[in-house]
Structures are given as structure tokens and as C-alpha cells.
Amino acid sequence: MNNLKKLIYKKSITNELLNIKKDLIKACLKQRIKLNPKLAYNFEVESKHKNYLYNIFYHTSKSYLNNFTLHDVNFKLWCYLSDKNFHKGRWHNHLKTSTINCVIYLKTQNKGINFKHNHREINIIPKENDLLIFPNFLDHYPEPSKKEPRITLNLEFRCKEDAKDIFYRR
């Protein structure tokens, strides 16, 4: 695929987050305090809204992608939080943990995310309340915030099909 952007889907879910966003941010900040804030930048977060968020992720994925079948429903909700205590990032992918990835942007601080694949690289600057969906094989690097918190939620689906079959148009 020549166009890397065709593998990344973005949708605003402002209306869906309207009544729960403050609660999600509060949960991320509170649960991070229980950990060492200087080390806790990517951690599993407990939220009563987890199933609701996964439902949004599922229906959005079904509307954009080729057919897929979930391998399991053992869903986890991860928080990536960068601020003055932690502001390092690194290139990574999700080949070992998922097939379809989702990031929900709660607080962006105008920081983007870099993607690279097949010697191509792009930068996307999501807005708050945006949801991004992309395949497990895309290397990516979230731009950390060095001051105010940048908070994202990360969700993953493991599917029976390969990510390339799900994301590449036939």
C-alpha cells in the first residue's frame, strides 16, 4: 500500500464521551497516583465505562474495515499518560498483543502521533475526543507532553483474521 494514511481511521466521538469523559480522566489520574508517577506512563486502568468504549470501538471498526471475527473478549483498557513526570516515548507496535488497535484521545495538549510503515512516515495530530483505529503492524510513536497531562486510552482486539486481511481493501 502506497498511502500509509489509508491504514488509519479517525472519528470524533465527542457525543459518545460527553457524559463520561471527566470520569475517565479522573480514573486515569487517580489510578496512576497509586503507582509510581515517575514510572507509570502506560498502565491498565479500571473503569465502569470499559465495555461501553469497547462497543464504540467494535461498531466503528465494523463500519470502516473488512469483516473480522473476534478471537476473544478478554478486554483491557490501557492509559497512556505523559506529563512533567514522564515524557519519553518510543517506537513500538502491537504485533504480539492485538490485531486491531484503537486510541481514544481524552487530552491531547496538541501532541500528535507518528506512524511508519514500509519506509514511509506520517504525523497525525488528533483532536480531543478523536478515536484512531489502525493495524497491529504499524510502528507508532506518541509525542509526549512535558507539561500538562496528555491522556489517551488504548484498546485492542485480537481477531481470527490477519490484520492485513482486515485493513487492506480488496
pTM, entire model: 0.93
pLDDT over 60 at 2, yes or no: no
CA–CA distance, 40 with 32 (Å, rounded to integer): 6
- How far apart are the C-alpha atoms of 81 and 145, rounded to whole Å? 9
- Residue 151's nearest CA partner among 74, 99, 77, 90 is 77
**Which DSSP category does 127 fall into?**
P
What pLDDT digit, counting tens, does each position of 3-13 carry? Answer: 888 999 999 99
Residues above pLDDT 70, as percent of the chain: 94
Question: CA-to-CA distance for 33 and 112, rounded, in angstroms?
Answer: 25
User: Which grid cell sits at 66?
Assistant: 473488512
Q: Supply the pLDDT for residue 170.
A: 57
More confident residue, 90 or 59: 59
Residue 1 binned pLDDT confidence (cut-offs 50, 70, 90): very low
Length of the chain measured in residues: 170
- Which domains can be identified in the chain, with CATH numbers? 4-167 (2.60.120.620)
CB 117 within 8 A of CB 3: no
Indicate if the pLDDT at residue 145 is higher than 50: yes
| pLDDT score recorded for residue 11 | 98
- Convert the pLDDT of each residue in 28-48 to its tens digit: 999 987 776 666 688 899 999
The one-letter code for the residue type at 70 is L
Report the chain's mean pLDDT, rounded to a whole number.
Answer: 91
Q: What is the pLDDT of residues 88-131, one digit of tens each?
A: 778 999 999 999 999 999 999 998 999 999 989 999 999 999 99
